[in-house]
Amino acid sequence: MPGVNNLIVLVVEDDDFQRLTLVQMLRVLGVQEVLEAGDGQQALALLSSLSPLISVVICDLEMPNMDGMELLRHAGQAHNPASVIISSSKDQSLLDSVGVMARAYGINLLGVIKKPATLKNLGSLLDRHVPLKRKDVNALKFTLSEVLQGVSDKQFEPFFQPKLDSKTEKLLGAEVLARWYHPEHGLVYPYAFIPQLEKDDHIIGLTMLLLEKAAAACRTWRERGLDLTVSVNISLASLNDTSIANQITDVVRLAGLDPRHMILEITETMIMQEVGPALENLARLRMRGFGLSVDDYGTGYSGLQQLMRVPFTELKIDQGFVTDCSTNAASRTVVESSIAMARRLGLKTVAEGVEGQAEWDILKAAGCDMVQGYFIAKPMDNLMFLNFWTANNANGNGNSNGK
Ligand code: C2E
Ligand code: CA
Ligand code: CA
């Protein structure tokens, strides 16, 4: 379903089991972020603090404290832009009349679901949601100073994309991808801010912010007994400064994570000026225990090839080759030979951009260690990631280290 994955949906439901069921269905439908409230008051607080980020509210009618009707009245009066789906077990005639009421209050009502909701009716109602100014958001161009302000206000959050063992399908870790929770424009993707930051070497502030948040998240996973690693993208350009290795180590350790549980994905977007400082930083980071990954393998400039002398631990094959490796013979050759080369160099291999079973099968047969891509899961927030772990674990891929 196109678009659903960009939605932020708030589920307002006092019954824990029903709320969880809805949350899981939304996840199955591919909704990127689901928020939860147990009554109208909590919902209203979230709506007013997170407007206009919340796109759709799924609302029960009978709840303690503030019921659904009162919530809809307040939301309508506040001109909250979220669309609403009413979900209730009441008679159809009552639901119809609440529907009329909601519209009278100025609510954009997508429809009414008579409990229990099904994936089909939930999905088709979500499809009716027309994102506010979506076109504008896609065309957004932020200035460097706007992005830097967002970084200093800490408006960026890590999203996590699962990495699975390609054979056992066990969850091994996640790659962190930056998302900007923009106060006006909602969820903003990297293409709208990374280029500005990389252009004149301003990426380090964002990198440090994400390193800290990613390390803290991974620490909490590990405290729960989940034996997972976290991968963070580092622009090669930021390794020019020889103090970076120490800064990275400090921020990660301070957040309570042992560097052994973090992998740094080194991405090359520009031709490297100087090899020396980058080599010094990478050697130092490896010495401290960080894993080092060659990102976007197959696309880069020559710099990373020189860096193959660095003790890299992982090679990440670019999605440009992975996505079509089952239909394009040249891509398949690049994929298979990269995997063979990595194995001879003693590197773990990750294929990113796995979008189908056919590609996964080829990768598995070629001996690729890990897979990542939309076919497995899209990047998601920490809460959803923990749900993903639970589901993966329930499928018999347990990786709890039993702590
Ligand atoms: P990347 O490191 O190559 O990350 C993978 C990108 O591919 C992500 O896009 C991810 O959402 C997307 N992707 C994952 N699976 C699939 C798939 O199956 N099919 C397709 N078509 N795409 C898939 P995203 O999140 O938009 O990030 C784009 C790029 O922005 C990243 O590419 C990375 O180079 C950069 N980036 C993101 N976060 C950071 C960061 O914190 N620091 C730095 N330096 N760069 C970042
Ligand atoms: Ca990456
Ligand atoms: Ca990539």
Range scoring the smallest mean pLDDT among 65-74, 189-198, 263-272, 342-351: 263-272
Question: Would the pLDDT of 300 be above 70?
Answer: no
Among all bound ligands, the one having the nearest atom to the CA of 209 is 1
Q: How confident is the model at residue 92 (pLDDT cuts 50, 70, 90)?
A: confident
Task: Supply the pLDDT for residue 134.
Answer: 41
Task: Supply the pLDDT for residue 322.
Answer: 94
pLDDT digits (tens, 9 = 90+) for 179-198: 999 998 889 999 899 988 98
Among all bound ligands, the one having the nearest atom to the CA of 298 is 3
β-pairing verdict for 171-182 and 262-267: unpaired
Q: How confident is the model at residue 133 (pLDDT cuts 50, 70, 90)?
A: very low
Nearest CA to ligand 1 atom 37: 177
pLDDT digits (tens, 9 = 90+) for 231-253: 999 988 889 899 999 999 999 99
Task: Supply the pLDDT for residue 139.
Answer: 55
**CB-neighbour burial class of residue 135 (10 A; exposed 0-12, middle 13-18, buried 19+):** exposed
Q: How confident is the model at residue 403 (pLDDT cuts 50, 70, 90)?
A: very low
Between 79 and 161, where is the model more confident? 161
Task: Supply the pLDDT for residue 372.
Answer: 98
CB atoms < 10 A from the CB of 131, how many? 17
In the reported structure, the alpha carbon of residue 352 is separated from the centroid of ligand 3 by a whole-number distance in angstroms of: 7
Dihedral, 105, 110, 116, 122 alpha carbons, nearest 10: -150
Nearest CA to ligand 1 atom 21: 353
Question: Would the pLDDT of 226 be above 60?
Answer: yes
Residues with a CB atom less than 6 Å from ligand 1:
161, 177-178, 189-190, 194, 203, 207, 210, 233, 235, 267, 295-296, 319, 352-355, 373-374, 379
In the reported structure, the alpha carbon of residue 318 is separated from the centroid of ligand 3 by a whole-number distance in angstroms of: 5
Task: Supply the pLDDT for residue 3.
Answer: 66
Q: How confident is the model at residue 135 (pLDDT cuts 50, 70, 90)?
A: very low
Task: Supply the pLDDT for residue 308.
Answer: 66
What percentage of the chain has pLDDT greater than the value 90? 63
In the reported structure, the alpha carbon of residue 320 is separated from the centroid of ligand 3 by a whole-number distance in angstroms of: 8
* Token code pair at residue 285: 């980071």
Cα gap 376→47, rounded to integer Å: 31
User: Best substitution site from 5, 160, 177 to test ligand 1's pocket, by max atoms within 8 Å of Cβ?
Assistant: 177
Catalytic sites, residue numbers: 352
Range scoring the smallest mean pLDDT among 5-9, 23-27, 217-221, 312-316: 5-9
Nearest CA to ligand 1 atom 7: 353
Task: Supply the pLDDT for residue 200.
Answer: 76
Closest ligand 1 atom to 269 CA: 34
CB atoms < 10 A from the CB of 157, how many? 19
Q: Would you say 112 and 86 are in contact if contact means Cβ atoms under 8 Å apart?
A: yes
Task: Supply the pLDDT for residue 401.
Answer: 43
Between 284 and 274, where is the model more confident? 284
Counts of helices then strands in the chain (DSSP H, E): 16, 14
Nearest CA to ligand 1 atom 22: 353
